[in-house]
Amino acid sequence: MPTCCGAIRAMIRFENVTKVYDRKARPALDSITLEIDRGEFAFLVGASGSGKSTFLRLVLKEDRATSGAVYVAGQNVANISSWRVPRLRRGIGVVFQDFRLLPQKNVFANVAFAMQVIGKSRSVIRSTVPEVLKTVGLEGKEHRMPHELSGGEQQRVAIARAVVNRPGILLADEPTGNLDPTTSMGIMGVLDKINQNGTTVVMATHDDDIVNEMRKRVVELRNGVVIRDEAKALYTSMIPVVGQSRRLKDASGLDDLVGPERVSQDGTSSGEAMQ
Amino acid sequence: MRLAFILSEIGSGLRRNLTMVISVILVTFISLTFVGAAGMLQLQINQMKGYWYDKVQVAIFLCSEGSAAAGCASGPVTEEQQKNLEALLRSPAVAQYINEFQFESKEDAYGHFKEQFSNSPIVDSVAPDQLPASFRINMKDPEKYQIISETFASQPGVESVIDQRKILEQLFSVMNGASVVAVVIAAVMIVCAILLIATTIRLSAFSRRRETGIMRLVGASKTVIQLPFILEGVIAALIGAALASGTLWAVSYFFLGDLSKQFQDTPFISPSQTLVLVPALFALGVILAGISSLLTLRRYLRV
Ligand SMILES: Nc1ncnc2c1ncn2[C@@H]1O[C@H](COP(=O)(O)OP(=O)(O)OP(=O)(O)O)[C@@H](O)[C@H]1O
Ligand SMILES: [Mg+2]
């Protein structure tokens, strides 16, 4: 436990955390030490396979660190017994690239689902869900089915579901990965708003435009190691490494917009087989 | 709220896997019916054993009014004859083969008879007088029956000496054999039921992996996630148990009812007696659904 006093400042704390999935391969995370404070907004960037999703999984206790300690809200997750893991997860909202909505349920029911399964009363659900839907900009669409929504709207539903139980932390794993740039910016607006309300947000992303626009803290991973941790930063370091513009995907069609941030400093092809 | 939620989850799970659920119901129905059949055979054997079967091996029936046997030509047994017989039973020559013996008076005999044939119409047509008094003998070695028979058959006042076991043993061995067969079939069917329930729950868990994944993420407890699956299996098994119980009751009501009219001198179990098996069948159904779902969920529904 942190030897601090009073309120815990670090919402997420990694101490020399190593995660090895496969003994023959290199570790997915290699002795990471990192703190993310309460109320902070942090981007997790890095090439495919650099360990971003692994980081998020360890926070959720979906996986166990091979060595080192992961603290969430001051508590070492290794000490949380399996029957209390649900309580940990109630304090953490999660959003994914693929939305993960329930196709047979309408917008309201999808969000309400997260409250039903933890036993919230009908009246609380009825008052809370519309409020949250308003926060994410979906008022009036309560009765739409997921297939009647655009991708951006679906992601808003997913975000609403993630935050409806008022978690202290919101983890987002490439939430804009399937969305066009304009829609992505809309989603970022929602996440920013949630962050303004006091929720700590950690977002793994490949989306350089977004990172550059938001100017938040950026933690860059490469091969499971933190190679950069910068406040109010850009997607890539300001020091350009010329001649290596490796882009895995680009849905934006803005390729001709070449700026220094377009040039990845990550020249290695590690992890490219992943995805 | 949570209860309503779990119930609606169960409902949708049962609807989605309807064919599998029906097969689970049928398999548990069949397997529990065989278990119940074995139980009924044992009940029936007990019924036929009556009061004395497990206690004694040989019965010496004494003459009563209207006995047609040769030894009874001089009328019903006198008190003196009865005393002599008892003395003979106590004499060293005979006593060495005997653990103990009991005297069953006409009244005792009538009481035991009424109990054994409680489900049979014959009970009303028999009066205490018509039943003979008897000595009931528990042998040290049942194979020595011959000695007792030779000693007593020709004594005055003795109507007959009967080795009860001989008469019923063969029938019982057939019935015991049948119950073993029923139990073996039941065991195989129970294995089928367990595997089928496991498969059903696995399919159900697979078809609802989206929901359960989301439930995990938003912090639903293990109970809320797993209970609907367990209860699905349990409900199907309970329906199977209910069908099996109904079948057993119908068999005892119609089939044994007919038999008891045909074979009036054989005591049969009554439909209400078979009902003692019902709680056992329900318990067994719940246990096998519970076990198989626990095993399956541990593997396929990680929380
Ligand atoms: N369940 C798993 N079993 C084995 N290896 C895994 C598993 N999950 C991830 N890995 C490996 O761990 C490394 C990090 O993977 P991770 O998913 O964290 O990368 P990522 O940064 O999220 O990549 P992407 O940007 O493509 O989502 C990769 O080399 C990957 O092959
Ligand atoms: Mg990932």
Residue B119: which domain range? Answer: 58-164
A-B contacts at Cβ under 8 angstroms: 62
pLDDT at A253 over 50: no
Residue list, ligand 1 pocket, CB within 6 Å: A 21-22, 28, 46, 48-54, 271, 274-275
Q: Which of A88, A98, A116 to mutate to test the interface with B (most CBs of B within 10 A)?
A: A116
What pLDDT was estimated at residue B174? 86
Domain boundary pick from B137, B164, B191: B164
Query: Are B39 and B70 in the same domain?
Result: no
- Contacting residues of A for B226, CB less than 8 Å apart: none
Q: Which chain B residues are Cβ-neighbours of A119 within 8 angstroms?
A: 1-2, 5, 224
Per-residue pLDDT 10s for chain B (303 aa) are 578 888 888 888 888 888 888 988 999 999 999 999 988 888 888 887 776 677 667 888 888 777 777 777 777 778 888 888 888 888 888 888 888 888 888 888 888 888 877 777 777 777 777 788 888 888 777 777 788 888 887 888 888 888 877 777 778 888 888 888 888 988 888 888 888 888 888 888 888 888 889 988 988 888 888 888 888 889 999 999 999 999 999 988 888 878 877 777 777 888 888 888 999 999 999 998 888 888 888 776 665
What whole-number distance in Å separates Cα of residue B31 and Cα of residue B27? 6
> Taken in order B215, A28, A155, A42, is the CA torsion positive or negative?
positive
Same domain, B74 and B105: yes
**pLDDT interval class at A272 (50, 70, 90):** very low
Indicate whether B95 and B234 sit together in one domain. Answer: no
Please indicate whether, in this complex, the C-beta atoms of A118 and B221 are within 8 angstroms of each other. Answer: yes
CB contact under 8 A, B219 and A161: no
Measure A275 CA to ligand 2 centroid, in angstroms.
8
Residue A70: pLDDT band (50, 70, 90) is very high
pLDDT of residue B301: 66
Tell me: do B178 and B258 sit in the same domain. Answer: yes
Q: Is B211 an 8 Å CB contact of chain A? A: yes
Per-residue tokens: B229: 């699956």
Domain end (from B110, B135, B164): B164
User: Tens digits of per-residue pLDDT, A130-180?
Assistant: 999 999 999 999 999 999 999 999 999 999 999 999 999 999 999 999 899
Average pLDDT, chain A: 85
Q: Residue A121 and residue B1: Cβ atoms within 8 Å?
A: yes
Highest averaged pLDDT of the listed ranges A91-95, A253-257, B131-135, B201-205: A91-95
Clarify whether residues B226 and B247 are in a common domain.
yes
Asked whether residue A225 carries a pLDDT value surpassing 80, the answer given is: yes
Band of pLDDT at residue A238, cut at 50, 70 and 90: low
pLDDT at residue A274 tops 60: no
Q: Supply the pLDDT for residue B302.
A: 64
Among A209, A231, A208, CA closest to A219: A231
Which among B283, B286, B151, B155 has a CA at the least distance from the CA of B231? B286
- Which ligand places an atom closest to the C-alpha of A57? 1
Give the residue among A191, A176, A192, A185 at the shortest CA–CA distance from A98. A176
Q: Are residues B176 and B124 in the same domain?
A: no
ipTM over 0.95? The verdict is no
Q: Is the pTM of this model over 0.90?
A: no
Residues B173 and B272 in one domain: yes
State which amino acid sits at residue A134.
K
Do residue B232 and residue B253 come from a single domain? yes
In B, minimum Cα distance to A117 occurs at B220
Nearby residues of B4 by Cβ (< 8 Å), 6 or more positions away? none
* % of chain A beyond a pLDDT of 70: 83
The structural domain count of chain B equals 2
Model confidence over A191-219: pLDDT tens digits? 999 999 999 999 999 999 999 999 999 99
All structural domains of chain A? 39-51+87-268 (3.40.50.300)
Mutate to test the interface with A, among B8, B16, B217, B226 (most CBs of A within 10 A): B217
Q: What is the DSSP annotation of B264-299?
A: TTS----HHHHTTHHHHHHHHHHHHHHHHHHHHHHH
Instruction: Tell me the shortest Cα–Cα distance from B24 to chain A, in angstroms.
Output: 27
- Domain CATH code at residue B90: 3.30.70.3040
Domain co-membership, B291 together with B188: yes
Give the pLDDT confidence score for residue B115 in this predicted structure: 80
Are B64 and B192 contained in the same domain?
A: no
Instruction: Supply the angle between the helices B2-16 and B164-207 in degrees, to the nearest 10.
Output: 100
pLDDT for residue B256: 82
Locate the chain A residue with the closest alpha carbon to B216.
Answer: A86
Last residue of a domain, one of B149, B164, B179: B164
